Amino acid sequence: MSEQAPSLDRAAAARPLPKPGILDIHPYVPGKAKAEGIAEPVKLSANENALGSSAKAQAAFASAGQSLHIYPDPRAGIVRAAIAERYRLEPERLIFGCGSDEVFLLLNQTFLEPGDNMVQGEFGFAGFAIGAYACQAEVRRAPEPGFRIDVDELLKCVDDRTRLIFLANPGNPTGTWIPFSEVRRLHDALPPSVVLVLDGAYGEFAADPGFDDGLDLARTASNVVVTHTFSKLHGLAALRIGWGYAPAEIAEAVERIRMPFNTSIAAQRAAVAALGDEDFQRASLEFVDTWRSWLAQQIGGLGLDVVGPSAANFVLVAFPKAPGRTAAEAEAFLASRGLLVRGLGMYGLPDHLRFTIGLEAHNRALVDALADFLKR
Ligand SMILES: Cc1ncc(COP(=O)(O)O)c(C=O)c1O
């Protein structure tokens, strides 16, 4: 993806040519949703919420049916107010996007020009880099020894053309996390001109007291943006709504390029209801906590290496390279049993699979199928 094609004379071309770099981008490959010959496969490939979503959020979504002819509030006022109140944040410093994906895209577009670079971990979430490449920027990938972000490696990548660092904590697809002391050390060592984006898509699932999503740091720092999503804990992936908390100057700059109606009325209403449904949030967190430990223990018991411990709603598992036992073969075997999991070739992890924590029956079916696969 980082190789740039030689630049062509676009004016002399016989047909319109995209700008350099665009055709080098690998389009995002989502987690599989279909299995051949199986009507209703179990989807454990996209880190969705196994418990679904809050009944209150579903009712709020349904209420939007009366308003389909009306443009949504461009400033997502009701969600802005709800998040500001819940986290004690200044409303004007919030950015809303069509998923947090769009917040990443907007940050890339706001800060990167050709020749600049963006830094992320080796296994950084694919959504960060696409927008950077589209800005004709370089993407630098810092090694993640032991599948964990290494602050010193990130810092080694930073130079005077670095404009952004994206850090998902916990990471996807690794599930690992770094303590806040390390995030602070990274921030302290960065030039003030570099924006540090702390992606907390899975932050709610990280229960260790050493974890912190960085909102308090972002309150006073002039170069920290914290992002969150309604797709994971709140189970609203279909509605595409996420947010960022940024310094006022950054929020104001981003606002200039954000398309006005980027979050729908249905998404805004459902997000407010989801945020208010603490029972659903608590049930989701307890559920993930219970089944994540169980899954890691069971899969480890089968002799497979589980990366981690995971602090997210999925686990990353290493497979042997031996023919008959590989990750690709396991993925196909599981699909034949109707279990869709995430192959990670696009992350440079062809020997790993990622399993989202599913419902009890699905987690048990996964472990049984893996046992059968390894016994073949
Ligand atoms: C690390 C990470 N950040 C952000 C996102 C994007 O979430 P959203 O649905 O808000 O665009 C994902 C989605 O899988 C993710 O894994």
- pLDDT tens digit string along 328-340? 999 999 999 999 9
- Report the separation in Å between the CA atom of 171 and the middle of ligand 1, taken as the mean of its atom positions: 10
Q: 283 and 176 in one domain?
A: no
Place of tokens 């676009």: 10
Q: 216 and 84 in one domain?
A: yes
SS (H, E, C) 38-67: ECCCEECCCCCCCCCCCHHHHHHHHHHHHH
Strand partners, 352: 318
> Last residue of some domain: 234, 260, 277?
277
Q: 205 and 308 in one domain?
A: no
- Report the separation in Å between the CA atom of 376 and the middle of ligand 1, taken as the mean of its atom positions: 36
Q: 284 and 147 in one domain?
A: no
- State percent of the chain over pLDDT 70: 98
pTM over cut 0.75: yes
CATH of the domain at 330: 3.90.1150.10
| 5 within some domain | no
- Report the separation in Å between the CA atom of 188 and the middle of ligand 1, taken as the mean of its atom positions: 26
> Last residue of some domain: 259, 277, 295?
277
Cα 160 to Cα 158: distance, rounded to the nearest angstrom: 7
| 157 within some domain | yes
**What is the residue type of 283?**
A
Q: 363 and 286 in one domain?
A: yes
Residue located nearest, by CA, to atom 4 of ligand 1 = 201
C-alpha dihedral sign at 93, 99, 100, 106? negative
| 31 within some domain | yes
Residue pLDDT, tens place only, 227-278 = 999 999 999 999 999 999 999 999 999 999 999 999 999 999 999 999 999 9
Q: Cα angle at 49 between 46 and 51, to 5 degrees? A: 140
Residue located nearest, by CA, to atom 8 of ligand 1 = 99
| 104 within some domain | yes
Q: Which atom of ligand 1 is nearest to the CA of 199?
A: 3
- Report the separation in Å between the CA atom of 103 and the middle of ligand 1, taken as the mean of its atom positions: 10
- Report the separation in Å between the CA atom of 314 and the middle of ligand 1, taken as the mean of its atom positions: 13
Q: Quick one: pLDDT band at residue 6, thresholds 50, 70, 90?
A: low
Q: 289 and 245 in one domain?
A: no
CATH of the domain at 125: 3.40.640.10
Residue located nearest, by CA, to atom 7 of ligand 1 = 100
| 16 within some domain | no
Residues with CB under 6 A from ligand 1: 47, 99-101, 125, 127, 168, 172, 199, 201, 229, 231, 237, 242
Residue pLDDT, tens place only, 291-330 = 999 999 999 999 999 998 999 999 999 999 999 999 999 9
Q: 300 and 187 in one domain?
A: no
Q: Quick one: pLDDT band at residue 1, thresholds 50, 70, 90?
A: very low
- Domain holding 334, by residue range, is 22-52+279-375
Q: 283 and 271 in one domain?
A: no
Q: Which atom of ligand 1 is nearest to the CA of 98?
A: 11
Tally of domains in the chain: 2
> Last residue of some domain: 253, 277, 301?
277
| 7 within some domain | no
Residue located nearest, by CA, to atom 1 of ligand 1 = 172
pLDDT at 35: 83
Candidates 180, 171, 248; CA nearest to 213 is 180
Q: Are strands 195-199 and 242-245 parallel, antiparallel or unpaired?
A: unpaired
Q: 171 and 80 in one domain?
A: yes
Whether the predicted pLDDT of 3 surpasses 50:
no
Residue 52 contacts residue 358 (beta carbons within 8 Å): no
Residue 366's φ and ψ, nearest 5 degrees, are -65, -45
Residue 85 to residues 157, 282, 367: CA-CA distances in angstroms? 37, 19, 42
C-alpha dihedral sign at 80, 84, 89, 92? positive
Q: 337 and 228 in one domain?
A: no
Q: Quick one: pLDDT band at residue 8, thresholds 50, 70, 90?
A: low
- Report the separation in Å between the CA atom of 324 and the middle of ligand 1, taken as the mean of its atom positions: 32
| 195 within some domain | yes
- Pocket test of ligand 1: the residue of 105, 202, 232 to mutate, having most ligand atoms within 8 Å of its CB, is 232
Q: Quick one: pLDDT band at residue 4, thresholds 50, 70, 90?
A: very low
Q: 160 and 309 in one domain?
A: no
Q: 271 and 223 in one domain?
A: yes
- Pocket test of ligand 1: the residue of 28, 83, 101 to mutate, having most ligand atoms within 8 Å of its CB, is 101
- Pocket test of ligand 1: the residue of 231, 263, 347 to mutate, having most ligand atoms within 8 Å of its CB, is 231
Residue located nearest, by CA, to atom 13 of ligand 1 = 201
Cα 243 to Cα 172: distance, rounded to the nearest angstrom: 18
Determine the angle formed by the axes of helices 126-134 and 100-111, rounding to 10 degrees. 30
Helices (H), 176-264: 180-189, 215-220, 248-255
Determine the angle formed by the axes of helices 55-63 and 278-301, rounding to 10 degrees. 120
- DSSP string computed for 101-168: HHHHHHHHHHH--TT-EEEEETT--HHHHHHHHHTT-EEEEE--GGGS--HHHHHHH--TTEEEEEEE
| 15 within some domain | no
Helices (H), the chain: 55-63, 77-87, 100-111, 126-134, 151-157, 180-189, 215-220, 248-255, 265-276, 278-301, 327-336, 360-375
